[in-house]
Structure 1
Amino acid sequence: MTLSTAEIWLVILGLGAGSYLLRLSFLGIVGSRELPEWLLRHLRYTAVAVMPGMITPMILFPTATGGQFDIVRMGAAIATIAISLWTRNATLTIFGGAAALFALHFLLAA
């Protein structure tokens, strides 16, 4: 299915308007009001809910391997989780996970 240039621009403008209206609903309308405690408590879990959904497909079905399981990425993910649980430090977790990925790639893929 191919889209014409006009259809592509219509989709881009529609997505832009939808994104703007979604942000406006929080920042423009609710931004100056005090939110209830129960809502703030639930909003704290947004990143915890979204990040695994974004990261898990990249670990289990990486595009670099054509969607095939890759022991290097799985090992780096396990090492990253272990570093996170051990240190409770986001910076060390990020750099430790990257180091684990590069080390495993060097050791297993070479």
Structure 2
Amino acid sequence: MSPDSGTIWIVIIGLGIGTYLIRFSFLGLIGGRPLPEWLLRHLRYVAVGVLPALITPLVIWPHATGGQPEPSRLLAALAVLVVGVWSNNVIGAIAGGMATLYGVQFIIGSM
């Protein structure tokens, strides 16, 4: 059973308003004000906490392999960690992980 077009449009408009209000709360209300030091200190760690939470399921339970761990993805994640810690460079870590992923997939022939 699929919803009618009226319900779909209500959901789309409601989500648009909700997204606007969330963004406005940060940009419109406090965008021009200086933030306290304790909040800035905590905001520095948001990306460090969010990115691993987004990437880990894709490495451990990849949908492309039916949820089975794959050596090329695990090695690429390890390469990202090693290059990131060694060089302290995000772009370098991403490039090292990509090179490892595609290199291992090319070598073992799973591409």
TM-score (norm 1): 0.90
Structure 2 counterpart of 1:99, one-letter code? A
The CA distance in 1 between the partners of 2:71 and 2:14, in whole Å, is: 40
Structure 2 counterpart of 1:11, one-letter code? V
Greater Cα shift, 67-76 or 21-30: 67-76
Q: In the alignment, which residue of structure 2 is the partner of 1:105?
A: 105
Q: Identity of aligned pairs, percent?
A: 49
Q: In the alignment, which residue of structure 2 is the partner of 1:14?
A: 14
Instruction: Give unpaired runs (5+ residues) of structure 2.
Output: none
Q: Deviations over 1:36-75 (max 9, x none)?
A: 1111111111111111111111111111112221111111
Q: How many residues are paired up? A: 110
| Stretches of 4+ aligned residues off by more than 6 angstroms | none
Matched, 1:39 2:39: yes
The CA distance in 2 between the partners of 1:85 and 1:6, in whole Å, is: 51
Matched, 1:90 2:98: no
Instruction: Give unpaired runs (5+ residues) of structure 1.
Output: none
How far is 1:30 from its partner? 0.6
Q: Secondary structure at the residue paired with 1:33?
A: coil
Instruction: Work out whether residues 79 and 93 of structure 2, in 8 Å CA contact, stay in contact via their aligned partners in 1.
Output: no
Q: How much is the aligned-residue C-alpha RMSD, in angstroms?
A: 1.4
Matched, 1:29 2:61: no
Q: In the alignment, which residue of structure 2 is the partner of 1:59?
A: 59
Structure 2 counterpart of 1:17, one-letter code? I
The CA distance in 1 between the partners of 2:4 and 2:66, in whole Å, is: 29
